[in-house]
Structure 1
């Protein structure tokens, strides 16, 4: 019960339909399991309601709200409603993000409309949620803001809108952290690597005409740690730590949750090389045994 008595507002608490759980839903469930009251906000209210239903089924407390992070009025309404409902906002978790679904592309192919759409959702949306939650947290003298960036901020990601916006989220988080430390408000950023979530996998199944298994296999082989993607629960565990009092002296931190992807320098090994290394390791283990 590391978040007992806390109120959390999560933007992007719903998820796409898919075979796995999404980041926002996993974080909402984890926060509730740790004792927080969770205000689940999403542009798709049905998705937010599904998350709320899952929380309530486990005995937790949650409410759903429909809002679009590109529309400041709906962001204001979400924050006001959460505060009026429970009297505080202790945790703000910003999970909304988009790439392929908004028409993101390489810099030579991107349209102005797609670039602006990605930036409005991924970056400006976080500016707006923080803008309207900060006065509450400053008045309380405490609060934890957690922003979801991406390993795309530093790796060889092909699409310019997502990479640029997610790099900017890191700068935004640093700015909020240092400018609000005196008020007791912390701000940290998580940089997920390759994850098996509906947004990451199902969108690629649709865009590239591959099977679910083919997309998973392609992404798994790019992850150094065990050659297997992470899950939304890996993000949820990291977010819960940053939201808790265990992280009370941590602010302005960029935390990669990426299976070592951020540590790769230089040419990546081919699948054949990976297989050969694994074969050699197994042979060495057998010899030792």
Structure 2
């Protein structure tokens, strides 16, 4: 879908933090798209990334469109950095309303390739970082009456994906959101998960083989791929007051691909009857 041009201001006066808010390479990644959409809806957005230039590119895009954003550089697997991100957001705006745990990495793939260090790195970046950010965000959200947390998982956490560490780490993000939803619902805090699938981003274009896009289009019920803006719109809905009675859910944004059975998928790909 194209970048949204019209917004309703449904997050005016709120503050959001988006981890992994920069984009690597050409095009728009999910973190940047999420930050742009939240800012378009009126939120002041804290842009967390390891690379200052990537986050600055996102900030420039937001500011040029009339939005508010500020860059916070650090390591989301480090507890002190995560604490600093939340404290800085509150210091700048007086509150924290939305946390989007978007950052993630996707290696290693095969069991033979994973050693303890590689396993720990994937779990730390994809899962531990979300726990640390949530741990510091919850008190800040409670101080102003509540908030919304959205974890960015993957359909690899719903169906086997052939990646020994990535899939389990993404599945755990949904479980983490459910626990937060139950533990902190009475604090006014909602927690949900978005599971992207068959989304074309700069990272996907870098890692996928050349024929993967055609295959993904053929196998999906809608016959097309999604993009980062599709994910951003889903996040904006779950983070907004429009979703005030929705918590603990896992929302696939995948063109229906997780709903198609393996035999049916084979038939679609091979045009069998």
TM-score w.r.t. the length of structure 2 is 0.92
Q: Which residue of 1 aligns with 2:3?
A: none
Please tell me whether the aligned partners of residues 201 and 215 of structure 1 are also in contact (alpha carbons under 8 angstroms).
Answer: no
| 2:51 aligned with 1:44 | yes
Q: Which residue of 2 aligns with 1:219?
A: 216
Shift of 1:269: 2.1
- Which residue of the other structure, out of 158, 168, 184, is the alignment partner of 2:162? 158
Q: Deviations for 1:72-120, whole angstroms, at most 9, x for unmatched residues?
A: 11111111111100000000011001113xxx12224322211111000
Shift of 1:194: 1.1
Q: Which residue of 1 aligns with 2:77?
A: 70
| CA distance in structure 2 between the aligned counterparts of 1:272 and 1:96, rounded to whole angstroms | 32
Taking the TM superposition and a 5 Å limit, the aligned residue runs for 1:142-181 are 142-181=146-185
- Which residue of the other structure, out of 56, 60, 63, is the alignment partner of 1:53? 60
Q: Residue 165 of structure 2: SS of its match in structure 1?
A: helix
Q: Which residue of 1 aligns with 2:238?
A: 242
Shift of 1:250: 0.9
| 2:125 aligned with 1:121 | yes
| CA distance in structure 2 between the aligned counterparts of 1:270 and 1:251, rounded to whole angstroms | 36
Shift of 1:66: 0.4
Shift of 1:223: 2.1
| 2:95 aligned with 1:88 | yes
For the aligned residues, what is the CA RMSD?
1.5
Q: Which residue of 2 aligns with 1:139?
A: 143
Gaps of 5+ in 2: 1-8
Q: 1:44 to 1:222 in 2, by over 3 A?
A: farther
Q: Residue 269 of structure 1: SS of its match in structure 2?
A: helix
Q: 1:11 to 1:190 in 2, by over 3 A?
A: same
Number of corresponding residues: 264
| CA distance in structure 2 between the aligned counterparts of 1:178 and 1:261, rounded to whole angstroms | 29
Please tell me whether the aligned partners of residues 191 and 256 of structure 1 are also in contact (alpha carbons under 8 angstroms).
Answer: yes
Shift of 1:42: 0.6
Please tell me whether the aligned partners of residues 215 and 269 of structure 2 are also in contact (alpha carbons under 8 angstroms).
Answer: no
| CA distance in structure 1 between the aligned counterparts of 2:90 and 2:10, rounded to whole angstroms | 21
| 2:27 aligned with 1:13 | no
Please tell me whether the aligned partners of residues 218 and 269 of structure 2 are also in contact (alpha carbons under 8 angstroms).
Answer: no
| CA distance in structure 2 between the aligned counterparts of 1:159 and 1:30, rounded to whole angstroms | 30
Task: Decide which structure has the larger Cα Rg and report it.
Answer: 1
| CA distance in structure 1 between the aligned counterparts of 2:248 and 2:31, rounded to whole angstroms | 21
